[in-house]
């Protein structure tokens, strides 16, 4: 087939800047996400033949798959580990895109497509979580749908739509199964195709450039085949080998069969929602599940459409000053977040920061306003004292939020024990 007619060759460029060959340029994270998605589809298609989506049969069908089907345990393991890795890899890909300023100019819309992909991947993980119908999955989904119910106005309705009724039952399994195996994967395929097309339209992966319309003058180009192709194949194969090894040595978890009458203690959301669950321990539900996530989501969606000093992009952390301001932000988050959690838990207590006022004020408005003032002060400090540009200051805020969320997730996963009390990981 001629080069012009090959879809594969159209999907990839003919020549690429030599700089793109460096692994550290993107860490291959977008490509890794694609490989993991393909592994999920492959193993998912095999499991469809065995799995039975009903509360009576689901758990038994998983046990049957693990014990009586050739490679059943391995296939489930690969599916489980790929799904979890995909969530992490996609989040880090998003960080890479942000920290190289790859959301400006021709890539604005791809940032939004990417966010939709992230949303769908989380939805896919969440809907798959329930399917084994064991204690872990049943109660994790219960926690998450309860969190949703706290949303003002439409929360209760959303909860009923997702559950297919008042509580988790047969309709929930069918809903989740249909979303997990058909609706979400099809949407993901369509959006990924669009995402890759937009990467090509933007002239490939971001590289340092002189102007909005092109890479730096005099940039050295090399043919895609074999240079980048071989590197992409190597990363893909190493990733597949890694997932296989992990799945061989670590089984996908399967707890006791779901028991709606007996909640495990502690009952935790899936790890990627534990950061949100942690917020709920510190703030009034209106703030924890609605106002804070909504404000952060709006900030992330609108980030490419802000006015910046310049559209500097292509280098990690944008500039030298960008590196220092990001490091300051990360250190601040690493210090302040655990301090806040400990202070709220051991000093402030359940009555909140302004005892005597309604909880929506003492555990919501007041601490959130204090945090907002802190964030604005941090931004102004970077601008005034460190003479950071808007690009560098916005990047630092993003790093601050991302690291804080990671710290909350680590605390929620490893430092919360019975009754969600703070404990050391070896005491859980
Ligand atoms: C299923 C999830 C995703 C897949 C499979 C995927 C895949 C890719 C691939 C293969 C690339 C090209 C190079 C690379 O960075 O490796 C890319 C670039 C890009 N992705 Fe994603 N992506 C996903 C999610 C996201 C998310 C969550 C965001 C951000 C919110 C995002 C935003 C972008 C942008 C703006 C580019 C262009 C970057 C540049 O030119 O340097 N993507 N993506």
Residues 343-372 have pLDDT tens digits of: 999 999 888 899 999 999 999 999 999 999
Q: What is the pLDDT of residue 351?
A: 86
Torsion sign, CA atoms 171, 174, 176, 179: negative
In this prediction, residue 211 carries a pLDDT of 59
Q: What is the pLDDT of residues 266-301, one digit of tens each?
A: 999 999 999 999 999 999 999 999 999 999 999 999
Task: Retrieve residue 171's tokens.
Answer: 């309709």
Ligand 1 pocket list (CB less than 6 A): 26, 28-31, 33-34, 37, 90, 93-94, 97, 102-103, 107, 110-111, 114-115, 117-118, 121, 192, 195, 199, 202, 205-206
List of residues 6+ apart from 22 with CB closer than 8 A: none
Cβ proximity of 277 and 268 under 8 Å: yes
Residue 326 to residue 5: CA distance in whole angstroms? 45
- Antiparallel, parallel or unpaired: β 209-211 and 15-17: unpaired
pTM listed for this prediction: 0.95
Which ligand 1 atom is the nearest neighbour of the CA of 91? Answer: 27
Q: What is the radius of gyration, based on Cα positions, of the chain?
A: 23
The architecture CATH gives domain 1-264? Up-down Bundle (1.20)
Q: How far is the CA of 94 from the centre of ligand 1 (A)?
A: 7
Residue 37 C-alpha from the chain's centroid? 14
**Range(s) for CATH 1.20.810.10 in the chain?**
1-264
How many angstroms separate the CA atoms of 347 and 340, rounded? 10
327: its two tokens: 């490091």
């Amino acid at each position: 087939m001629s080069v012009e007619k090959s879809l594969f060759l159209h999907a990839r460029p003919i020549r690429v800047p030599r700089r793109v060959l460096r692994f550290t340029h993107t860490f291959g994270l977008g490509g890794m996400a694609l490989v993991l998605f393909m592994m999920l589809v492959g193993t998912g298609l095999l499991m469809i033949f065995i799995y039975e989506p009903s509360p009576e049969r689901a758990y038994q069908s998983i046990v049957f798959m693990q014990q009586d089907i050739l490679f059943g345990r391995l296939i489930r393991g690969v599916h489980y580990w790929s799904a979890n890795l995909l969530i992490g890899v996609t989040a880090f890909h998003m960080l890479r895109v942000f920290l190289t300023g790859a959301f400006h100019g021709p890539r604005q819309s791809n940032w939004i497509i990417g966010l939709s992909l992230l949303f769908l991947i989380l939805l896919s993980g969440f809907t798959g979580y329930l399917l084994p119908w064991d204690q872990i999955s049943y109660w994790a989904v219960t926690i998450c749908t309860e969190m949703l119910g706290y949303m003002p106005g439409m929360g209760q309705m959303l909860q009923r739509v997702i559950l297919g009724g008042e509580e988790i039952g047969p309709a929930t399994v069918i809903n989740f199964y249909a979303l997990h195996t058909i609706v979400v994967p099809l949407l993901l395929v369509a959006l990924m195709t669009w995402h890759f097309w937009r990467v090509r339209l933007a002239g490939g992966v971001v590289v340092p450039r002189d102007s909005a319309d092109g890479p730096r003058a005099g940039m050295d180009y090399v043919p895609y085949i074999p240079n980048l192709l071989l590197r992409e194949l190597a990363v893909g194969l190493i990733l597949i080998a890694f997932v296989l090894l992990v799945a061989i040595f670590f089984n996908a978890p399967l707890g006791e069969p779901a028991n709606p009458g007996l909640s495990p203690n502690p009952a935790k959301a899936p790890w990627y929602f534990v950061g949100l669950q942690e917020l709920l321990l510190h703030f009034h539900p209106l703030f924890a599940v609605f106002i804070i996530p909504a404000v952060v989501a709006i900030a992330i969606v609108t980030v490419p459409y802000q006015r910046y000093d310049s559209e500097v992009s292509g280098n990690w952390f944008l500039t030298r000053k960008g590196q220092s301001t990001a490091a300051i932000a990360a250190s601040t988050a690493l210090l302040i977040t655990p301090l806040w959690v400990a202070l709220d838990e051991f000093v402030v207590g359940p009555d909140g920061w302004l005892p005597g006022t309604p909880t929506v004020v003492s555990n919501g408005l007041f601490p959130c306003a204090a945090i907002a003032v802190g964030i604005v002060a941090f931004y102004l400090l970077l601008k005034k004292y460190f003479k950071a540009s808007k690009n560098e200051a916005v990047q630092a805020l993003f790093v601050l939020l991302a690291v804080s969320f990671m710290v909350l997730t680590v605390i929620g996963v490893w430092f919360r024990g019975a009754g969600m009390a703070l404990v050391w990981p070896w005491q859980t």
